[in-house]
Amino acid sequence: MPDSKLKLGVLVSGNGTNLQAILEACKKGGIGAEVAVVISNDSKAFALKRAEKFKIPTAVVPDTRDAEAEILKILRNYKVDLVCLAGFMRLLSSSFLKVFSHRIINIHPALLPSFPGLNAQKKAFDYGVKIAGATVHFVDEGCDTGAIILQEAVAVEDDDTFETLREKILKVEHKIYPKAIALIATERLKIIGRRVLGRTMDHGP
């Protein structure tokens, strides 16, 4: 989409630090995207306040049988091109995924395929890994099994605690999520099988 900015719909459930990173990257420019709407399944999510501070429209869609239909309606109303999951604590159905095929991405606090699912940082720390990290991937019907867009590693030092490791991983998340969005916005990616190919960015947005 070279002539216009990629419109993002960000789905959140909690604190929203990755949303913050996306909003700040969009404000600075250079990633070819803008957040059109932020949707949460929790009215108390602090992420909503972050969005409001940036004057981004928000919506709350509680977890009900009709929730996905309502979310899709909102995304269409705002002409969203790419859906970004940022701590969204709800699994999306196959029918939802088909509507936005290869247009839903997620950030995971581990180097997939290792440690998928919840509490990934704690699982990695308890396992005793020497290298941890974060992954941005396309979303498919599995649990953190979609094609990988970007990854960045974090060294686990001897004096690291779970808390310090979690903070180091979070910093990496905030770096690579906007970068992945920029790659998609500038149409530098293509998917062949499980491989996501394309020109990488030497510098973050």
Contacts of 77 (CB under 8 A, 6+ apart): none
Q: What pLDDT shows up at residue 203?
A: 39
Reported pTM: 0.93
Distance of CA 62 to the CA centre of its chain: 20
Report the C-alpha gap between 39 and 45 in whole angstroms: 10
pLDDT-above-70 percentage for the chain = 95
Task: Read off the DSSP letter of residue 80.
Answer: -
Burial of residue 85, with CB atoms counted within 10 A of its CB: 0-12 exposed, 13-18 middle, 19 or more buried: buried
Grouping H, G, I as helix, E, B as strand and the rest as coil, residue 73 is: helix
pLDDT tens track for 85-137: 999 988 899 999 999 999 999 999 999 999 999 999 999 999 999 999 999 99
CATH superfamily for 6-198 is: Formyl transferase, N-terminal domain (3.40.50.170)
Any idea which residues carry the catalytic annotation?
108
Distance of CA 190 to the CA centre of its chain: 18
The 3-state secondary structure of 32-63 reads CEEEEEEEECCCCCHHHHHHHHCCCCEEECCC
User: What would the two tokens of residue 29 be?
Assistant: 């420019």
Phi/psi for 82 (5° steps) reads -135, 130
The answer, yes or no, to whether residue 192 has pLDDT greater than 90, is no
Say if CB 23 and CB 31 are below 8 A apart: no
